[in-house]
Chains A and B, each alone.
Chain A
Amino acid sequence: MRWSALLKRLALIPPTLLGVGAIVFVLLRVVPGDPIAMMIPPGASPADIARLRALYGLDQPLLSQFITWLGQVASGDFGRSISLRQQVFELVGARLPATLELAALSVVLALLMGTAVALVGSLLRGTRAEWLLDTANGFFLAIPDFLWALILLLGFGVLLPLLPISGRLDPQLAIAFRTHFYLVESLLTLRLDIAADLLRHMLLPSLALALPFAALVARLLKAQLAEAEDQDYAQIARTRGFSRTTILQREVFPNALIPTVALSGVQVTLLLGGTVLVERIFSYEGIGNMAIDAVINRDFPLIQGLILTFAVLFIALNLAVDLLVALLDPRLRHG
């Protein structure tokens, strides 16, 4: 990607976020449900209700509420959560690292599994085993992440209780972390016992997220490998005496990777969306789980903050995928 193209992409980010913010802001206030009604004790007087409403600025016209919020957000103030009575920025900042670590682990697991399946499938081409592998892959692709979460919960949490099924860390192991990236921090400070416990807690939810994504990666990569293997340059490598594995590794795989990354990279956003339900199922304290509570409590400032966070993540992810594709494909690098 050339610099001008990159700048153009970066320039599009603020208007995109503004659009997302406006839609969420309006939608929240149009759908039924009142945050004040959720927080007042029964029997509060109408005067009390009006006072609370004014405190959160909810008595103002929609447009002026929006402009006030926009001004605050622009200066880094995302408001106070109505239900948790803390700054949204701090709340999200404390939970986001948990989700990022979970999503990153899921993507790594999915890439490893998907690539392995695609490579094995390519070597088995034309055999009965390939057909079996493809069928199994379709099965994994068809089951959504939240269903995998329930299946894994039942399998490895209940029937065969090998792994913890809720939370992020055994409370007995909790130490005073300096950051909220517990896994990264415990690895860097060599607290491997804590890292191991964190991973044990993350394994089931990250598998639930990874399995359908791995199946997608496997299917895409396998098709691309087959296509690249038919290309002239791969055939010509055979006329030069290279072995099939060498050709797969040097000629076919780097070429098949480009469309696979471009197509599946965008799907990582789906995986991030999947964290909402999967975190809930495993009581994992990330922003997905927090989003559900925020919606239940009609916590307008928190919902808005969370949606903007997801929007920023999606945009960053798309940009990262494009940069990665350009890194893999010299034809794009030189424009």
Chain B
Amino acid sequence: MSAILEIDNLHVAIGAANVLRGVSLRVEAGEVRGLVGESGAGKSMVGRTIFGLLPSRAKITAGCVSFEGRDLLALPDRQRRDLLGRRIALIPQDPMTSLNPVRRIGAQMAAVLQLHLKLSKRAALARAAELLTEVAIRDPARVLTLYPHELSGGMRQRVLIATAFACDPSLVIADEPTTALDVTVQRQVLQLVERMRQRHGAAILFVTHDLGVVAKICRSMTVLHAGRVLEDGLTADVLVKPHHAYTRALLAATPRADRPADALKPVPPALIESLWAEAHRLDQLAAARPA
């Protein structure tokens, strides 16, 4: 298999603080890769770098991000924008704030199809209705005329998923798409993402802090902490035989149906401390090295 996304040794700093300290990861065509980490691990920063949405004070200090053989970071703005939404799409975290409150669902979905596939407004709306049917929304023609506040959170997330797959992208970055949803809806949304992936043949980088989700849908996974990759491999291997102490600790802290709740152990503070100490030591080494 060939890699469609290849991140190599990515370093990102915000002001004096390093947030990514040499992240490398590959996503093969059509695969689902989990990007796992606690909050602050830098997993959202990876997505932001790909979409060019880093905060204004952030700086990419080293590394490269190549997508389908092209260096995303070096691409002129216009060419990069041509890829975004068409070849790389995002399923955002919070469906409540991710749709424009004053525009109809139809207009928001059609705009993407008009921009990238050069469809007419009418054709774009017809295609949008088909996409809504694919994500199991009943009466799509009516939903297209509604405003976001007239839909439930689960419905909005379906709209966002449908929009992400609208132009048949080869890579979809799902940024904790289930975090803001009810547990009952989470499962449906996961199944939906998997169904849409199979149908449209995209690879998915699934950003999450939930190892349960990774175990369910990801073929491979990358564990991130303090902006560093601690573990990388096939999900089946990593979950059964984790190499890194941190991954083992994370697994021990994940609730499972076949274990009593009191068997849960928090990640030991000493382990976290030693990881951060190591990260800072690496920062100092890097700073001491002449550029």
Instruction: Point out residues on A near B: beta carbons under 8 Å.
Output: 126, 231-243, 250-251, 254-255, 258, 328-331, 334
Instruction: Point out residues on B near A: beta carbons under 8 Å.
Output: 51-53, 56, 81-86, 89-90, 92, 94, 97-103, 111-112, 115-116, 147, 149-150, 163
Beta-carbon contact of B53 and A233 below 8 Å: no
Q: Which residues of B contact A126 (CB under 8 A)?
A: 56
Beta-carbon contact of B103 and A254 below 8 Å: yes
Interface of A is mostly: helix
> How long is the Cα–Cα vector from A170 to B291 in the complex, in angstroms?
76
Beta-carbon contact of B99 and A233 below 8 Å: yes
Beta-carbon contact of A235 and B53 below 8 Å: yes
Chain A min CB distance to B200 (Å):
16
> How long is the Cα–Cα vector from A330 to B105 in the complex, in angstroms?
12
Q: Which residues of A contact B53 (CB under 8 A)?
A: 235, 238-239
Q: Which residues of A contact B56 (CB under 8 A)?
A: 126
Beta-carbon contact of B102 and A241 below 8 Å: no
Q: Which residues of B contact A236 (CB under 8 A)?
A: 90, 92, 98
Beta-carbon contact of B112 and A330 below 8 Å: no
Q: Which residues of B contact A241 (CB under 8 A)?
A: 81-86, 115-116
Beta-carbon contact of B51 and A239 below 8 Å: yes
Q: Which residues of A contact B85 (CB under 8 A)?
A: 239-242
Beta-carbon contact of B84 and A238 below 8 Å: yes
Chain B min CB distance to A2 (Å):
15
From B94, B97, B147, A330 is in contact (CB under 8 Å) with: B147
Chain B min CB distance to A26 (Å):
46
Closest residue of chain A to B78, judged by CB?
A243
Closest residue of chain A to B100, judged by CB?
A233
Beta-carbon contact of B115 and A334 below 8 Å: no
Q: A233-B97, A254-B103 are in contact. Are A238 and B52 (CB under 8 A)?
A: yes
From B51, B81, B86, B90, A243 is in contact (CB under 8 Å) with: B81
Q: A330-B149, A331-B147 are in contact. Are A240 and B89 (CB under 8 A)?
A: yes
> How long is the Cα–Cα vector from A334 to B151 in the complex, in angstroms?
13
Beta-carbon contact of A239 and B102 below 8 Å: no
> How long is the Cα–Cα vector from A90 to B8 in the complex, in angstroms?
81
Interface centre among A231, A238, A239, A258 (most CB of B within 10 A): A239
Q: What 6 A-B pairs have minimum CB-CB distances, sorted nearest first?
A: A240-B85, A241-B84, A241-B85, A232-B97, A330-B147, A241-B81
> How long is the Cα–Cα vector from A126 to B115 in the complex, in angstroms?
29
> How long is the Cα–Cα vector from A258 to B149 in the complex, in angstroms?
16
Chain B min CB distance to A123 (Å):
15
Beta-carbon contact of B98 and A239 below 8 Å: no
Q: Which residues of B contact A231 (CB under 8 A)?
A: 97
Q: Which residues of A contact B102 (CB under 8 A)?
A: 254-255, 258, 328-330
Beta-carbon contact of A334 and B52 below 8 Å: no
> How long is the Cα–Cα vector from A231 to B101 in the complex, in angstroms?
11
Closest residue of chain A to B108, judged by CB?
A233
Beta-carbon contact of B94 and A239 below 8 Å: no
Beta-carbon contact of B51 and A232 below 8 Å: no
Beta-carbon contact of A331 and B101 below 8 Å: yes
Beta-carbon contact of A240 and B149 below 8 Å: no
Q: Which residues of B contact A254 (CB under 8 A)?
A: 100, 102-103
